[in-house]
Amino acid sequence: MNSLVINLSDVSFSRNGNRILSDISFDVRAGEHWALLGPNGAGKSTMLGFCGARTHPTSGVVEILGERLGRVDMQELRRGIGHVDPRHPVRSPLSVVDVVLTGLTGTIELPMRWQASEDETAQAIELVDQVGLSSRRDALWPTLSQGERGRALIARALVAQPKLLLLDEPTTGLDVAAREQLLETIDDLAVSAPNVATVLVTHHLEELPVSTTHALVIAEGASVASGLADDVITSETISHAFAHPIRVGKHDGRWSARAVRRTFDPDAAAALSA
């Protein structure tokens, strides 16, 4: 059985007297690829904070990579976790390879007087090539498209060889072509990094990669359904979570969601306008 990477047991979280999450349980094992789904305000960001060892629960138990939050050095624990956030705040004109190398230092910029070894640089270049940016190795961050930045951030997250990879709405701001290229890159991880567990946060089913194996759907801070993706990502579950009738489809391994159109009743419409 694959080793447990994330274990949340009856976790609740409150902020300023407001309950954000209630009694959430969530297990992720090595090599599994989870989708964390739910409407805006459902508590997805708080969940990701637990998974990334950045937030402590108000009650319940959170164990990440075998370590219990509250009993471990959080900074040390985070070194085993890769995080892909399209809002990554790079300000300096770093090259793609240099941005990837910051994944080794856990910083936004390259630290002063820090120098990557030849092996570390070679590893960064290999990852840049792996995510399809070989022709852009020396390109500077401000010149990259949003899609190229997304792929560079995946390489950055992988350079420290994490056991857990978190993807926080990674296709935000991308056009259709760039989105599809990024999702292909994520799908490739199932082959290139088969033991890495991933958790991808989104509220758009179209943004789920083919490699998605499991899903957790939450709404109003509570779990709606959790388990194998095909069992969880259904019209019934998604309609419940988003409080709207949604028809879920799947074709060639990719999901889609459409609102169920209500039948137009001309007599009722005329009565309303009278």
Which percentage of the chain shows pLDDT scores above 90? Answer: 70
- pLDDT tens-digit profile of 62-99? 999 999 998 888 888 888 899 998 888 888 899 999 99
Domain boundaries, the chain: 4-80+162-273, 96-160
In terms of C-beta distances under 8 Å and separation of at least 24 residues, what long-range contacts does 213-216 make, across chains too?
Answer: 213/32, 213/33, 213/34, 214/28, 214/32, 214/33, 214/34, 214/35, 215/34, 215/35, 215/36, 215/37, 216/26, 216/34, 216/35, 216/36, 216/37, 216/47
pLDDT band, residue 272 (cuts 50/70/90): very low
pLDDT at 203 over 90: no
pLDDT at 273: 42
pLDDT on residue 56: 92
Lowest mean pLDDT of 92-96, 210-214, 230-234, 263-267, name the range. 263-267
Fold classification of 4-80+162-273 is Rossmann fold (3.40.50)
Give the residue-averaged pLDDT of 2-13: 93
The pLDDT tens digits for 117-145 are 999 999 999 999 999 899 999 999 999 99
Rounded mean pLDDT of 24-49? 94
How far is the C-alpha of 60 from the C-alpha of 45, rounded, in Å? 18
Whole-number pLDDT of residue 230: 96
Q: Residue 9 above 50 pLDDT? A: yes
What pTM value is reported for the model? 0.88
Q: Check residue 129 and give its pLDDT.
A: 93
